[in-house]
Amino acid sequence: MGPLTGVTVIDLTRVMAGPFCTMLLADMGAEVIKIEDPRGGDDVRSFPPIVDGWSSYFLGLNRNKKSVTLDLKTPGGRDVLTRLIGRADVLVENFKPGSLARLGFGYDAASALNPRLVYCSISGYGQTGPRSHLSGYDPVIQAECGLMSITGFPDGEPTRSGVAVTDFISGLYANQGILLALLRRAYTGSGEHIDIALYDSMLSTLCMPAGIFEATGRDPQRLGNAHPSIAPYEVFQAQDGLIMICAGNERLWRSLCEAIGSDDLVQEPRFRTNADRVTHRAGLKSELETVFARLTVEDLVCRLENRSVPCGRVRSVAEGLADPQVCARDMLLHVDVPGHGDFRVLGNPIKMSGLPPRAPSAPPGLGEHTGAVLQLLGYTQPEIDTITEQNAR
């Protein structure tokens, strides 16, 4: 039994941030009922690559859930959601602010139905403020908050992250907020409204560049793979490939020099302190890469790891997934996908000593659990047939 066993979650989210949040809740034992529009369901179901009719995106974000199709613009669909809210612990939604309220399921209405309900809204800019009416998509938020302006190389254009970091960070904050609200409800007896904005979430990660701006009055600039305040702390070219090295303090800097047989660099006036090395970053990189040109990546990694200098090969996704550490940490899980068979999805990084890894159930087919959930809510078969007919229109 997971720590959230007995907790019922209504999942009114789609695409990425919300489904990621609710998947984490499901991993910990919550019953997650994913409400989908009968006309195609979650948009991600159609995102390529498609594997035997299943989107790999959808498979990676929706394990351990049930799918119920409801047309919330019909009386039957609204009645089902009303009954679900009455028995649920958590509702998570990522509608554009105001949209769900117009359907009769905003926080005030839902709280009136169930005062203990923890209601979490995820949106681009939050439920308040002059931009709250705007939709939020990960690349737009990365651009608007300033993240792209500091990502990429100085002579290139601003660049977004290779993954939807805004969505995943927002999903994590939503998950944390829900758990905090459930904890608070245990002694207040009341639920509450959690307001998560993608814009807020991404801004919260910019503490270092924001601090630079507040301290200097100047916008931080793109530095490629380098660090604005530490050197050497970037990617270097070795004889046969690239290596990331993070010598984050003086001890590690000396250990790096010892590992490559270049103790003279420690006494070099240009590199004596971290501030000196940051000032002379280009010269430092040139000196190090002259030495690294005689060493393979594997040799360099071995030398540095033996002296506890943080470093890593610059690898492909395939190479990263093939690392024995992945298997040892249960970070690739096998799910039996209907019509396809075995498919691997990423595991949950939260490891609890009293909770053995859970074998995940396959992500649900569109509407797969509609009938079963409606029966549990007390609907008769004729009533279920009527709602199903409304969904099909």
Among the residue ranges 9-13, 185-189, 230-234, 355-359, the one predicted with the least confidence is 355-359
* Interatomic CA distance for residues 354 and 356, integer angstroms: 7
pLDDT at 390: 84
Which residues have a catalytic role annotated?
227
DSSP for residue 365: P
Mind listing the pLDDT tens digit for each residue in 139-185? 999 999 999 999 999 999 999 999 999 999 999 999 999 999 999 99
Q: Give me the DSSP letters along 10-49.
A: EEE--SSHHHHHHHHHHHTT-EEEEEE-TTT-SGGGGPSS
SS3 state of residue 7: coil
CB count in 10 Å sphere of residue 187: 7
Place of tokens 């530095």: 223
pLDDT at 308: 96
DSSP for residue 269: G
pLDDT at 339: 86
pLDDT at 35: 97
Cβ-count burial 357-376 (b if 16+ within 10 Å, e if not) = ebebebbbebbbbbbebbee
Mind listing the pLDDT tens digit for each residue in 48-99? 999 999 999 999 999 999 999 999 999 999 999 999 999 999 999 999 999 9
Place of tokens 């009293």: 354
The helix or strand, by DSSP H or E, that contains position 342, with its residue range, turns out to be: strand 341-346
Mind listing the pLDDT tens digit for each residue in 327-355? 999 999 999 998 888 999 999 999 998 88
pLDDT band with cut points at 50, 70 and 90 for residue 195: very high
pLDDT at 392: 78
pLDDT at 347: 92
pLDDT at 8: 98
Q: What is the mean pLDDT of the chain?
A: 95
Residue 393 has pLDDT above 80, yes or no: no
pLDDT band with cut points at 50, 70 and 90 for residue 389: confident
Residues in the chain: 393
Residues 302, 304, 307: CA angle, nearest 5 degrees: 110
pLDDT band with cut points at 50, 70 and 90 for residue 216: very high
Mind listing the pLDDT tens digit for each residue in 372-386? 999 999 999 999 999
Domains along the chain with CATH numbers: 8-204+327-392 (3.40.50.10540), 233-314 (3.30.1540.10)
pLDDT at 121: 98
Would you state the structure tokens that stand for residue 237, as one six-digit string? 């070219």
Residue 356 has pLDDT above 90, yes or no: no
pLDDT band with cut points at 50, 70 and 90 for residue 391: confident
Mind listing the pLDDT tens digit for each residue in 269-317? 999 999 999 999 999 999 999 999 999 999 999 999 999 999 999 999 9
